[in-house]
Structure 1
Amino acid sequence: MTGTTGAAWHGGAAAVATLTFDVDAETPILAAGRQYAGHLMTMSHQAYGPDVGVPRILDLLDDLDVPATFFVPGWVAEHRPGLAATIVERGHEVAHHSYSHRAPTSMNAVEQRADFERALEVFDAQGIEITGHRAALWEATQTTLELVAEHGLTYDSSLMGDDRPYLLGVDGRPVAELPVHWSLDDWEQYAFLPAPQIGSVIESPRKVLELWQAELDAMRHYRCLFNLCLHPFLSGRPSRLLALRDLIETAQSRGDVHFARCRDLAAATYADPALERRDPPNVTADPAVYPD
């Protein structure tokens, strides 16, 4: 499988592609309300991701010889104890995606720490090395980044301050940020459930493929990070997975796109002497101007 090498984070490629899969399974629905545990249609809809989608995705990645990163909530790894190991054995990365998939912005600092560390304990018990993190719903707070730095993780992938990797200074420690964006998230294209309502439109995979190919070519023009965020319960469905195959084959045919696991791209980011460290966003909102 290919990676990213060289002094510059992009290793000379026109764009770097990170294929990332958020293996949320039941967690985002349970985070919306534990009463949904008794909704069998809804629970089966979510279980499709790890039980059907992930094996198909792993076969596709093997077939096309590309690496990927799977962001797995600790709850999902705990309830499917062989899942994370299978992903790693196939040559891919497993990364931290909270324990419960509750948004950090909905928790206080004590709750965040407990959730964050509980996930680490699950992966440690399973012998899974964790070097990166993605916040549930991408809703990171300053506490979230502090936990990433405190526990020695090398990167986060939750913020939107650029379309190239950058370095954050967090409590005197560097954290590589691999930025994301809604335009490269399949949730905005395919997510639908009547209750809890998580979307109202199911797009055609052909339309989605056109969008993502346009993003890829524009990012090749500007030498960017094509950080694609997919959910196996969504993109593991047959027509959508074939569209993903088309997208990967298009990127390979360009001849100037490198595929990398997030942990490898983070290492290349640290090694790039041209990248300066930034501070995380620190916005103060005057309550007299912006009331709660």
Structure 2
Amino acid sequence: MEFPAFPDSAHPLTWPEGYRAAASFTFDVDAESCTIAHDPTSTRRMSLMTHQSYGPKVAVPRLLQILQRQDIQATFFIPGFTAESYPDVVRRIVDAGHEIAHHGYLHEPMQGIDAATEARYIDRGLEALAKVAGVRPVGYRAPWWELNWHSPALLADRGFLYDSSLLDGDAPYRFSVAEGDSRDLVEIPVDWALDDWEQYAFYPGVTGSGVIESPAKVLEMWTLEAEAHHAAGSCFVLTNHPFISGRPSKAVALEQLISRVKNMDGMWVTTLAKIAEHTRDTVTEVHTHARIEVPGFPDAGARFTPAQVRQPQLPADPLQSTTTVP
């Protein structure tokens, strides 16, 4: 007996004609940046630095070969510092036709920082990507998937189309950037079960439990996830880090997965930018996110503001939106 996979009813959408679901393979090219941001003294650890530099030096060229052989376009989230450190690698990604998206400057810790500090991080990353690759990204993924409540407005201020950092859906949706702000972004949700970090990442004194999973087990798990997303008509988004999934056996398993996903009937395998464009152009609902305020724990209790869904308000008369200057 086959059991159905139920769609994400909170975020309904239809895919382009001929497609029943979508999938995107994304790569966070952190290189040394994530370890430096976690602990600046890690630069003194020669072996650790080489562990991270494996990503741009060895893994990215290997992954580009795989993507070319499979004839798909991927999305690469690149910190500005990585772009400055490995400009030729970043230009190879661009020349191969893949999407470049924003991932901070030095993979900075985002939790609890103020808006002005976060704006500096975003702007510095934008400047680095423009200088190195000549691109102005439309997509953003927060380091460690850690958005602040003020982050969406900062992204909208800078013309971003979408974010891929939140975890409250199986399908893309539009969301309001702030209370009282008419602007919105597209969110393309992620999932820790679809991140290679949780399966493979280990470095003594830095991260991981010491258990590095078999690529065969990971391939099975990710295949099951892709099959369920396909059956539900939702959006399978895989997050990989080149210094992890670009290692030989893991890269082989990744290519096997790509081949399987490509061959699912009606699966649209594309970049996050194209998925975001489709969502923006076809979805009218705009969501807010639930907010919880705890003024004083535990005695003062907590206040919950539920999430809402609204339809954009259009002027009754198109002339109302036109200003005449005498």
Shorter chain as denominator, the TM-score bin is: over 0.9
Alignment of 1:256 onto 2:276: no
Alignment of 1:154 onto 2:164: no
Alignment of 1:13 onto 2:19: yes
Check whether the contact 2:165–2:190 (CA below 8 A) recurs between aligned residues.
yes
Task: Give 2:89's aligned residue.
Answer: 83
Alignment of 1:224 onto 2:234: yes
Alignment of 1:40-119 (within 5 A): 40-119=46-125
Q: Greater relative contact order (Cα 8 A, min sep 6): structure 1 or 2?
A: 1
Instruction: Please give the alpha-carbon distance, in whole angstroms, between the structure 2 residues aligned to 1:290 and 1:260.
Output: 50
Paired residue secondary structure (1:175)? strand
Check whether the contact 1:103–1:135 (CA below 8 A) recurs between aligned residues.
no
Moved more, 275-284 or 215-224: 275-284
Q: Once the two structures are superposed, what CA deviation does each residue of 1:226-285 show, in whole Å capped at 9, x if it has no partner?
A: 000000000000100110111111112222211111111110001114x41101342212
Q: CA deviation at 1:199?
A: 4.0
Instruction: Please give the alpha-carbon distance, in whole angstroms, between the structure 2 residues aligned to 1:98 and 1:89.
Output: 22
Alignment of 1:32 onto 2:42: no
Task: Give 1:3's aligned residue.
Answer: none
Pick aligned residue for 1:178 from 173, 185, 188 = 188
Q: Which amino acid aligns with 2:176?
A: G
Paired residue secondary structure (2:25)? strand
Alignment of 1:195 onto 2:201: no
Pick aligned residue for 1:139 from 146, 157, 161 = 146
Q: CA deviation at 1:106?
A: 4.5
Alignment of 1:241-252 (within 5 A): 241-252=251-262
Q: Which amino acid aligns with 1:66?
A: I
Identity of aligned residues (%): 39
Moved more, 161-170 or 108-117: 108-117
Check whether the contact 2:29–2:77 (CA below 8 A) recurs between aligned residues.
yes
Which protein is richer in helix relative to its size?
1
Paired residue secondary structure (2:174)? strand
Moved more, 86-95 or 251-260: 251-260
Check whether the contact 2:29–2:55 (CA below 8 A) recurs between aligned residues.
yes
Check whether the contact 2:15–2:21 (CA below 8 A) recurs between aligned residues.
no
Task: Give 2:287's aligned residue.
Answer: 278
Instruction: Please give the alpha-carbon distance, in whole angstroms, between the structure 1 residues aligned to 2:248 and 2:38.
Output: 27
Check whether the contact 1:8–1:268 (CA below 8 A) recurs between aligned residues.
no
Instruction: Please give the alpha-carbon distance, in whole angstroms, between the structure 2 residues aligned to 1:290 and 1:180.
Output: 35
Paired residue secondary structure (1:82)? helix
Check whether the contact 2:76–2:99 (CA below 8 A) recurs between aligned residues.
yes
Instruction: Please give the alpha-carbon distance, in whole angstroms, between the structure 2 residues aligned to 1:12 and 1:215.
Output: 22
Q: Which amino acid aligns with 2:226?
A: L
Paired residue secondary structure (2:147)? coil
Query: How does the TM-score come out when normalised to structure 2?
Result: 0.83
Q: Once the two structures are superposed, what CA deviation does each residue of 1:144-187 show, in whole Å capped at 9, x if it has no partner?
A: 21211110100000001111000011132120000000010000
Runs of at least 5 residues in structure 2 that lack an aligned partner in the other structure: 1-12, 301-326
Alignment coverage as a number of residue pairs = 284
**Structure 1 runs of 4+ with >6 Å offset:** none
Task: Give 2:322's aligned residue.
Answer: none
Paired residue secondary structure (1:254)? coil
Task: Give 1:164's aligned residue.
Answer: 171
Instruction: Please give the alpha-carbon distance, in whole angstroms, between the structure 1 residues aligned to 2:297 and 2:219.
Output: 46
Instruction: Please give the alpha-carbon distance, in whole angstroms, between the structure 2 residues aligned to 1:134 and 1:92.
Output: 16
Instruction: Please give the alpha-carbon distance, in whole angstroms, between the structure 1 residues aligned to 2:299 and 2:116.
Output: 26
Q: Which amino acid aligns with 1:277?
A: V
Q: Which amino acid aligns with 1:148?
A: L
Q: Once the two structures are superposed, what CA deviation does each residue of 1:50-84 show, in whole Å capped at 9, x if it has no partner?
A: 11110000000000101100000011001112222
Check whether the contact 2:201–2:207 (CA below 8 A) recurs between aligned residues.
no
Task: Give 2:250's aligned residue.
Answer: 240
RMSD across aligned positions (CA): 1.6
Q: Which amino acid aligns with 1:203?
A: E
